[in-house]
Structure 1
C-alpha cells in the first residue's frame, strides 16, 4: 500500500512538473547553438584578418562602417541558426516523448527570457550607436546570463548554472576589453556545447 501511495505521488509530481515547466528543451539545441556561435566567431576573426586587423596585437582598433555591418550579419546568422536548431531539436524531442510543445509554461519561459534579452538588445544598440564597441560582447554575455536565470523557473533548473557562468564570464570580460570575441566564443560557443552535452546525457 505504501509503495502504491509513493507511485501515485511520483505520478502526480511528474504531471505537475509537465504542466508548470517547459521540459521539452533538448540538450542538442545547446550543442548546435554552441557550434553555430563557434563558427560565427571564426568567421568574425577571418573577417578581421581580411580587413588587415590583427586581433591579438593588443592595440586599439578602428572598425569602419562596412566591417560593423558584416559583423552584425554574422551575429544575426548565428542567432537564426541557433533558434532554428533549438526549435528543431526541441520539437523532435517533444514528439519522441509525447510531450506538449506549446503550453503556458512555454509562453512563460519565453516571456521571462525575452524581457532581459530585449533590454540587453536595446542597450547593445546604444553602445553601437555611441561607438563603444568594446563593451558589446561583455554586455551580451551579462544580459543573456540574466535572461537564463530569469527563465529558469519555467524549465530545467540546470539552466541557471549556465546563466551564472555567462554572467561570471561577462564580468571578467569587462576587465579585458578588446578580447570580446574570445569571451563571446567561450560563452556562446564552448559553454553551450558543454552544457548541451551534459543536458543531453542527463535528460535524453
Structure 2
C-alpha cells in the first residue's frame, strides 16, 4: 500500500510541476539558436572584413568600417544582422518546443508558458532599450557586454519557470558579459561564444538529459493555474 501511496504522490507532484513550470523546452531550441547566432557572427565577420578581435573595440571603433561603408552603414548592417538572428532563433525555438510539447501531449500556450514568456520579455525589452541608448551615446563597444550580461540575468529570472539547468547558462552568460566589459576588443568573439557556443553546449546537454530520457505525462494536457493549487 505504501508503494501505491508513493506512486500517487509522485504523479500529483508531476502534475503540479507541469502546471507551474514549462517543461516542454527542447534542447534542440538551444542548439538551433546557437547555430543561427554563429551564422550571424560569420556574416558580420565576412561583411566587415575585420579581425575577430577588433570589432566594436572602444579604441579602434573609428577604424572598424570598410572604406566603402560609413559608420552609420556599419551600425545599420549590424542591427539588421542581429534582428535576423533573433527572428530565426525564435522561430526555431518555437518549432522544436511545439514539436516536443505535441509528443508529450501538452499544449505550448498555457499558464506556465505565459509566466515564462513574461519573465523573458520584460528584462530583454529593458536590455534592448539600454543598448539603443548606448548606441545613441556613441558607446557601441559596450553593447556586447551589456547584451550578454542582461541576457544572463534574464535566463536566471526565467529559470524559475522551467528547467533549473537554464540557471547555469545564465551564470555563464553573465560571467562572459562581465569579462567582455574589460576586453572590449573581443566583442565579436565574445558575442559568438555567448550566443553561439554556449547555446549549442547547453542545448546538447538538455537534449540528452530531457528530450531523450525526460518523463512523459501520464495523461493529457494539464494546465492548472498556480493560484488554484
2:199 equivalent to 1:192: yes
Report the equivalent of 1:56: 53
Q: Distance in 2 between matches of 1:2 and 1:71?
A: 61
Q: Is the 8 A contact 2:37 2:192 kept in 1?
A: yes
Instruction: Map 1:160-179 onto structure 2 (within 5 A).
Output: 160-179=167-186
Instruction: Map 1:32-43 onto structure 2 (within 5 A).
Output: 32-43=32-43
Runs of 4+ aligned residues of structure 1 deviating over 2 Å after TM superposition are 53-59
Q: What is the TM-score with the length of structure 1 in the denominator?
A: 0.95
Which blocks of at least 5 consecutive residues in structure 1 are unaligned?
none
Provide the secondary structure at the position in 2 that maps to 1:66.
helix
Provide the secondary structure at the position in 1 that maps to 2:22.
coil
Give the counterpart of 2:112 among 105, 109, 128.
105
Report the equivalent of 1:123: 130
Shift of 1:60: 1.0
Note the aligned Cα RMSD (angstroms).
Answer: 1.2
Provide the secondary structure at the position in 1 that maps to 2:182.
coil
Q: Distance in 2 between matches of 1:55 and 1:77?
A: 20
- Count residues with an aligned counterpart: 201
Tell which structure's C-alpha radius of gyration is larger.
Answer: 2
Provide the secondary structure at the position in 2 that maps to 1:101.
coil
Q: What is the TM-score with the length of structure 2 in the denominator?
A: 0.85
Deviates more, 1:192-201 or 1:94-103: 94-103
Q: Distance in 1 between matches of 2:126 and 2:53?
A: 31
